[in-house]
Amino acid sequence: MQPTFRERINYKFERFLSKGGSSIFLSLTLVFISGFILIVGLRFILISLFPELSYFDSFLDDIWVVFLQMTDPGNMSQDDDAPFWLKTTTIVAGLVGVILLSMLIAFITTTLESVFFEFRRGRGRVLEKNHTLILGWNERVVDVIRELIMANESEKSSSIVVLAKEDKESMDNLIKKRLPNTKNTQIITTKGDYANINELRRVGITEAKSVALLANCSESAHESEKSNSDVQSIKAIMAIISCQDGHNTKPIIAEIFNKEKRDLIAYFNDKNIIALDSWNIMGKLLVQTSLTSGLEIVYSEILSFDGCEVYFYEEEDWKNIDFYDLPFYFKDGIPIGIYNSNSGLTLRPDHGTKMNNGDKILILASDDSEIRFESSQFVFPKDLPLADGRIAQENKHILILGWHNVAKIFIHEAGAYLLDGSVFDIMFSNPPDSLKAIVNELQQKYTNFKINLIDKNPLLLKNLENINPFDYNNIIVLSQDLKEQNVDKIDADTLLILLLLRTIKKGHLGQNTKIITQVLNSENQEIITQTDVDDFIISNRLITMILSQLSENPMIKLFYDDIFSEEGSEIYVKPAYLYFNEFPQKINFSDVMGVANKRNEICLGIRKTKLRKKANSNFGISLNLPKDEMLHLEADDFFVVLSEDEL
């Protein structure tokens, strides 16, 4: 059936209007001009037929009056003295003008509102270069930005671009509230799908120096949500590679929950693409912290851009120096490993290892600009006798208050550290079937441990008193609700439990139970330190530190893989009495390093016990001290060392 003329006209008009605001504006303008011409024509006909109706000297004055009447009906009064028939054109001009101009003004207002709304959404093209691109949004994003701001302090100007599905205004408000001073770093936020190629091009993916890809849900989210997050991240990685014509040249650090999805990313065979298993690292760190106090503070400094960091450094001529003499050629810095393209990274190499030209060292230093290899050894440690003490191992009794997936990793990792027969008591209020199934699975898998589930509410004082918490070696405080995702609510429950434990502790002053808690929001650190907790792990902050470090230098992953693995070297905080028989000791830091070397360890710093509760003294931890600094050591002080084990 052939379309009618009217249908064809309607169709063409619809297609014309569908082109957007410009077509509507043009349509209204044409209607206005048409109406203006029609009214002027009518007025001209009347005056031509009846010349006595004209009361202006020129018809051009009539044209001008019609225009004024259509654009402003108040000008209709100019025709008060006009004859009756001319007044009809005045009335028509006023009515047509009011209708058309009202429509035009409404259209312009709506269009401007839409334009300003688009500006608020941040939908324009990002013109930054050499910026760090953060894709996605979760509770860790502010800490990631904070770390990157510290990393950029040495630069003149820098920028961070955040592309997420969140509303731009809410992102900006949160960042301004939590980070009022961004120093020399500009923060640009924009709303969009970070797995979309066009959106990635809009935010300058090809000009970015690195990409941090955040999960869009928390670890406590449902498995389906975490799976969706992983799929979205993998899609984003593929889109990033596609934007670079199939050849990725940028560090891409992605949070991936599922092991199979992390293995899938290995398919890209790209060392610049790192799938980070954040909570696996947290579980390992939790085990290490339960064995030795103060590790979280040590890692917070090493992994952060604030304080000492690890760097790769290469010298043209190492002069065939023994690796363990190398620290005394650096006024700032402690070498902890050797890297070369053939053998990779070796932390704490064997004694007698010589430095070869072409080798790089991994060095702990205050800043890469301060690393300088001296032409000769500037300090000589004394040859002091080694006490060679060892820590006696024993079965551990560990109380876990609450639950988090990190506890499952903790129990798994404990197999490499704790003796058979160690006990894990898990106290949880009304444990759901899912938790019972997890505990049952752990009981069957780790038959060398005793794993018990206690159905009691840890938030009640009498329940805690009944289990005698200070009969345990360690108390680990985790989330009290498996479904709770609000970090402040989780931390509030943690704080309440810590206060209850402090109340109970007053009657157990002779006990040496170590209390370890997981803190999700870094802003709650100061509150937590007031509860006499021995150690706290700021999970979200540590994860963001690792993400930020890797985005700046993906090679640092070699270091993480070693210190957080079951085998190889790890960082420990060991008592000073393992090294010396007599106290106090008045020696310089190079002497301490020399004594640690006799135990096949590398000393990174010390911890003063009398300062362990003082946040403004970094809880007693001092890393990378000047080699010639004199120290006054007591028997209850500690050494921070890179070692094979905790003994």
Q: What is the pLDDT of residues 138-188, one digit of tens each?
A: 878 888 888 888 888 877 888 999 999 888 888 888 888 888 888 889 988
Asked whether residue 247 carries a pLDDT value surpassing 70, the answer given is yes
pLDDT digits (tens, 9 = 90+) for 333-386: 999 999 988 888 889 998 888 988 889 999 999 888 888 988 888 888 888 888
CB neighbour list of residue 119: distance below 8 Å, 6 or more residues apart: none
Same structural domain, 116 and 136: no
**Residues making up the chain, counted from first to last:** 647
Q: What is the pTM of this model?
A: 0.72
Helix (H), strand (E) at residue 135:
strand 132-135
pLDDT at 387: 83
Average pLDDT over residues 523-545: 65
- Which of 502, 518, 539 is the last residue in one of the domains? 539
What total number of domains does the chain contain? 3
Residue 367 lies in a domain: no
Cα–Cα distance measured from residue 458 to residue 287, given in angstroms and rounded to the nearest whole number: 22
Place of tokens 């052939």: 2
Same structural domain, 81 and 204: no
Same structural domain, 85 and 150: no
Residue 621 lies in a domain: no
Average pLDDT over residues 320-336: 91
pLDDT digits (tens, 9 = 90+) for 589-616: 999 999 999 888 999 999 988 887 777 7
**143, amino acid identity:** D
pLDDT at 77: 65
Same structural domain, 430 and 522: yes
Residue 165 lies in a domain: yes
Asked whether residue 278 carries a pLDDT value surpassing 80, the answer given is no
**Can you tell me whether residue 431 is helix, strand or coil?**
coil
Helix (H), strand (E) at residue 202:
helix 197-202
pLDDT digits (tens, 9 = 90+) for 402-458: 888 788 888 887 877 788 888 999 999 999 898 899 999 999 988 888 999 999 999
Same structural domain, 157 and 42: no
- Which of 247, 276, 305 is the last residue in one of the domains? 276
- For the domain that residue 165 is a member of, what is the CATH number? 3.40.50.720
Same structural domain, 102 and 180: no
Q: Omega of the bond prior to 584 within 30 degrees of 0, cis?
A: yes
**What domain range includes position 419?**
397-539
Contact 222, 245 (CB under 8 A): no
**60, amino acid identity:** L
Residue 584 lies in a domain: no
Burial tier of 477 (Cβ tally within 10 Å: 0-12, 13-18, 19+):
buried
Same structural domain, 111 and 142: no
**442, amino acid identity:** L
Same structural domain, 139 and 115: no
CB neighbour list of residue 131: distance below 8 Å, 6 or more residues apart: 158, 159, 160, 161, 188, 204, 207, 208, 209
Q: Is the dihedral of CA 438, 444, 448, 450 positive or negative?
A: positive
- Which of 276, 294, 325 is the last residue in one of the domains? 276
DSSP 531-591: GT-SEEEEHHHHHHHHHHHHHH-GGGHHHHHHHTSSSS-EEEEEEGGGT-SSSSEEEEHHH
Task: Name the more confident of 325 and 87.
Answer: 325
pLDDT at 162: 92
Place of tokens 């060679």: 388
Same structural domain, 160 and 101: no
pLDDT at 462: 92
Same structural domain, 50 and 148: no
607 phi and psi angles, rounded to 5 deg: -130, 125
Residue 476 lies in a domain: yes
Same structural domain, 115 and 173: no
Residue 77 lies in a domain: yes
Residue 2 lies in a domain: no
Residue 306 lies in a domain: no
Cα–Cα distance measured from residue 570 to residue 411, given in angstroms and rounded to the nearest whole number: 18
Percent of the chain scoring above 90 in pLDDT: 12
